Chains A and B, each alone.
Chain A
Amino acid sequence: MAEKFVSEKTIKFLVHDVFDVSQLVQYPYFSDHSREVFDMVLDTALKMGEDLYRPYFEEMDRLPVSLVNGRVKVHPHVRTIMKECGAGGWIGAEFPYETGGQQLPLTISLLSEFIFNAANYSAAVFASLTTGAAGLIESFGSHEMKEKYLPKMMSGEWQGTMALTEPQAGSSLSDVTTVAEPTDKGYFKLKGQKIFISAADHDGVDNIVHLLLAKIKGAPAGVKGISLFVVPRERFADEGGLEFNDVNSAGIYHKMGYRGSPIVQLGLGEENNCRGWLVGEPNRGLAYMFQMMNGARIGVGLGAAGIASAAYYASLQYTKERLQGRKLSQKDPSTPQIALIEHSDIKRMLLLQRAVVEGSLALLTQCAIYHDLEKVLEGDQSEKYNLLLELLTPVAKSYPSEMGILSTSAGIQCLGGYGYCEEFPLEQHYRDMRIHPIHEGTTGIQGMDLLGRKMTMKGGKAAQLYIEELQKTIQEAREIESLRKYAGDLESAAKILQKVTAHLTSEVAAKKGPDYFLADATVYLEFFGYICIAWQWLKIAVSAVKALESNPAEKDADFYKGKILTMQYHYGYELPKINGLAEILTNSEGITVDATENLFED
């Protein structure tokens, strides 16, 4: 039997029971879709995950990318994947019909992407990066730009990238120094360096299109002077065909994991012959880029959840098969050994993984629904979902990423020594996971985004809407006898959240300033995350209890009971951590702000 890396049943349970994604087809934009279409899309994604992605999972890690004569070589299967994703319409699936898309709800394409990520993260990023880059052109590019680039990108012939980071400007984007000099020929001349750019060069496609941040000569300092450009590796030549655009691959990084996908260092305009075309208006680059960035952040959370899912199923299978030890109450050494999964500590580690994987996936699905609703609704309603999505994006990015490290680590632990060895996939999942708290905005950045911007934006309106969403779920759960206790737990947690937030935003921020206010933003993000995932688990439990009321067959009943068990795990083992974190956050004396460098002498 092929190894399992996702649960089809859980995905469909989320789609149909927990989130009722079919509600979206009542809106004209999605009206060509139906429950059957969603199922067929997900079935196709599962098939592709199994046949197209998973068989190359190990090989792409063991035969990593290389830089040969200034060009990056990737596994030859990357070309096949890009072709299939193009031919299947996956790259522009969410785009409107006019641009060749399928107007697919993000919720469904996100869950498909989850399947690909779980099957083979390195292999899955090529197409999704192209989707993000093409999305920017689709939203903000000129008609001509769309005609030039979108067909090639959506067919998987050309790779798209997002090129932000520079040697001196990583998390600190205001320090971008790549210069764009205007010409009178409709293009700009670019010069500069970009580092850590995913898929910025490779031989699995015929060309690369960078969506790149640079400063137009003379632009204001800081983020207000950043513009967005399309910079192809090969540009359209005046006399037809393509010609080299002076975008040079200066090096690749040798990474801990995620080795099947190249991360490249780029030199732009080494021969002073690199042309870029402005997207939208000058100095609006960062605002535009944030559309892609928000999508990319959800994408990172999704990648982490996917990897954690594959690790969970690998460890689950092992713990069911491997016999080891006896119950503590069994003293007779001549009795047969029991399977690992019969030991409480192993069950705890399996539940930890499951709580992370499915709790994260639920939150990501929730975000995607908000995105879809924002798109089809208008006015206040649209704004409401936009605010909720904005608020939850840093959490949906970092909870799966940070907890994913613990989750894959628990996966290794379930296998003991074998988990640490290459013969089993766990160690690779662990390595592949580690990038996620780093790329597309580190956890530190996400914490500041959540506490410093999102909780306070529009006078705290997003935070207010979020509490209302929590209340809705609490009310629903309260009507179910068996969930009443958990509804109460979530309500208390929401109160603690409000109290801690008020302390930080009014007390600390007002009296001590931003340095103290945001010093422990990462701790706040962690604190917020446990509560947010508890909300999602309560939602799942409500649907599971309802499903059990219709007396399903035994196997199905176990499935729903398993969901309730995992909810209980989260409420019993993870949620109580907020009490300690609340103490840290409210009693903080700002020791990390006040600590001076000389105290780190040794």
Chain B
Amino acid sequence: MNIVVCVKQVPDTEALIKVKADGSGIDEGGIKWVMNPYDEFGVEEALKLKEKNGGDVTIVSVGPARALETIRTALAMGAEKGIHINDPALEGADAYTTASALAAAIKEIPHDIVFCGMRAIDDDAGQVGSILAELLGIPQVTVVTKLEVADGKATAVKAIEGAQLVIETSLPCVITAAKGLNEPRYASLPGIMKAKKKPVDVKDAAALGISVAAKAKIVKMMPPPERAPGKIVGGEEAAEKAAQLVKLLREEAKVI
């Protein structure tokens, strides 16, 4: 079974994010970069499938030179090889361009199943997986919390409001992983040692034959407006406090 996992390198959830003064992006100084946590679920699921059915796992990532660390992390977890799409023209690419780069790379290799995270925790767009499936012309199931693959088809569980959908699809397909799908493993020391020697192909936009013209452009980034400070309702007795609260809700907040 040939499994492909798309991973993105993102700032650590605990990194302190600062928007650049000119609003063109975030200040990358001092940021710790990690694998997008939803993509980790994808890597883990791919490894489990491989362990059960045999085959191999290829990691694909679009990103600058540092993204190689994230590919190596996935290789240390147990994937076989990587494709690193590294092109300055793709820096800050929109979801469509990213997906088309991924699609061009994946089209060239055998793929029975393609995993993506349901979204990346940096820009929260949640589009790449779906666009990728369209560009590859294969079915997709998004936000998957449980997956079984047998007899050439995949059965996926997807949570929707108040219910769960069980969706069956033929292979190949794109699955976008959600929290709950599995518990990603830690890279092992032997895995880390082996990861160094595993092959990673580096490709640029020209090699993939894709257009880098963006369909969407970030005009400006700005931090959210600061929240006004809260107000502590005064008064001695509970009744007095309640009256005060009602007054505030009616006159200031205008919600009742």
List residues of A whose CB falls within 8 A of some B CB: 1-2, 8, 32-34, 36-37, 40-41, 43-44, 47-48, 52, 84, 87-90, 93, 102, 104, 553, 555-556
Assembled-state Cα–Cα distance A384/B35 (Å): 43
Assembled-state Cα–Cα distance A88/B193 (Å): 12
CB pairs A–B below 8 angstroms (6 shown): A32-B193, A36-B69, A36-B196, A40-B72, A88-B189, A102-B189
A102-B193 contact, Cβ under 8 Å, with A40-B72, A48-B186, A84-B186: yes
The 9 A-B pairs at the shortest CB distance, nearest first, are namely A89-B189, A88-B188, A102-B189, A40-B192, A44-B187, A553-B29, A89-B190, A89-B188, A555-B30
B142 interface contact, C-beta 8 A? no
Residues of B within 8 Å of A87, CB to CB, are 185, 188
In the complex the two chains form, is B189's CB within 8 Å of A41's CB?
A: yes
Min CB distance, A192 to chain B, in Å? Answer: 38
Partner of A1, one of B14, B189, B192: B14
Residues of A within 8 Å of B43, CB to CB, are none
A553-B30 contact, Cβ under 8 Å, with A32-B193, A37-B192: yes
Assembled-state Cα–Cα distance A52/B185 (Å): 11
**Closest Cβ neighbor of A101 among chain B residues:** B189
Min CB distance, A24 to chain B, in Å? Answer: 15
**Closest Cβ neighbor of B190 among chain A residues:** A89
In the complex the two chains form, is A40's CB within 8 Å of B73's CB?
A: yes
A41-B192 contact, Cβ under 8 Å, with A47-B186, A84-B186: yes
In the complex the two chains form, is B30's CB within 8 Å of A44's CB?
A: no
List residues of B whose CB falls within 8 A of some A CB: 14, 29-30, 32, 69, 72-73, 76, 185-190, 192-193, 195-196
Assembled-state Cα–Cα distance A3/B190 (Å): 30
Residues of A within 8 Å of B14, CB to CB, are 1-2
Q: Which of B32, B69, B76, B186 has the most CB of A within 10 A?
A: B186
In the complex the two chains form, is B30's CB within 8 Å of A40's CB?
A: no
Min CB distance, B42 to chain A, in Å? Answer: 17
A555-B192 contact, Cβ under 8 Å, with A2-B14, A40-B76, A48-B186: no
In the complex the two chains form, is B186's CB within 8 Å of A556's CB?
A: no
Residues of B within 8 Å of A84, CB to CB, are 186
Assembled-state Cα–Cα distance A89/B73 (Å): 16
Residues of B within 8 Å of A33, CB to CB, are 193
Residues of B within 8 Å of A93, CB to CB, are 189
Residues of B within 8 Å of A555, CB to CB, are 29-30
Residues of A within 8 Å of B186, CB to CB, are 44, 47-48, 52, 84, 88
Known contacts A88-B186, A88-B189; 19 further A-B pairs (Cβ under 8 A): A8-B32, A32-B193, A36-B69, A40-B73, A44-B76, A44-B192, A48-B186, A52-B186, A88-B187, A88-B188, A89-B189, A89-B190, A90-B189, A93-B189, A102-B190, A102-B193, A104-B189, A555-B29, A555-B30
Residues of B within 8 Å of A48, CB to CB, are 186
Residues of B within 8 Å of A2, CB to CB, are 14
Q: Which of B29, B189, B192, B193 has the most CB of A within 10 A?
A: B189
In the complex the two chains form, is B190's CB within 8 Å of A37's CB?
A: no
**Closest Cβ neighbor of A46 among chain B residues:** B32
Residues of A within 8 Å of B193, CB to CB, are 32-33, 37, 102
Assembled-state Cα–Cα distance A1/B17 (Å): 13
Assembled-state Cα–Cα distance A90/B69 (Å): 21
Min CB distance, B28 to chain A, in Å? Answer: 10
Min CB distance, A33 to chain B, in Å? Answer: 8
Assembled-state Cα–Cα distance A285/B238 (Å): 75
Assembled-state Cα–Cα distance A36/B69 (Å): 8
Assembled-state Cα–Cα distance A41/B72 (Å): 12
In the complex the two chains form, is B187's CB within 8 Å of A40's CB?
A: yes
Min CB distance, B51 to chain A, in Å? Answer: 13
Partner of A556, one of B30, B73, B187: B30
Residues of A within 8 Å of B195, CB to CB, are 40
**Closest Cβ neighbor of A102 among chain B residues:** B189
**Closest Cβ neighbor of B77 among chain A residues:** A44
Min CB distance, A84 to chain B, in Å? Answer: 7
Assembled-state Cα–Cα distance A113/B218 (Å): 44
Residues of A within 8 Å of B69, CB to CB, are 36, 40
Assembled-state Cα–Cα distance A468/B94 (Å): 59
Residues of B within 8 Å of A102, CB to CB, are 189-190, 193
Min CB distance, B68 to chain A, in Å? Answer: 9
Min CB distance, B75 to chain A, in Å? Answer: 10
Assembled-state Cα–Cα distance A36/B73 (Å): 11
**Closest Cβ neighbor of A45 among chain B residues:** B186
Q: Which of A1, A37, A84 has the most CB of B within 10 A?
A: A37
**Closest Cβ neighbor of B30 among chain A residues:** A555
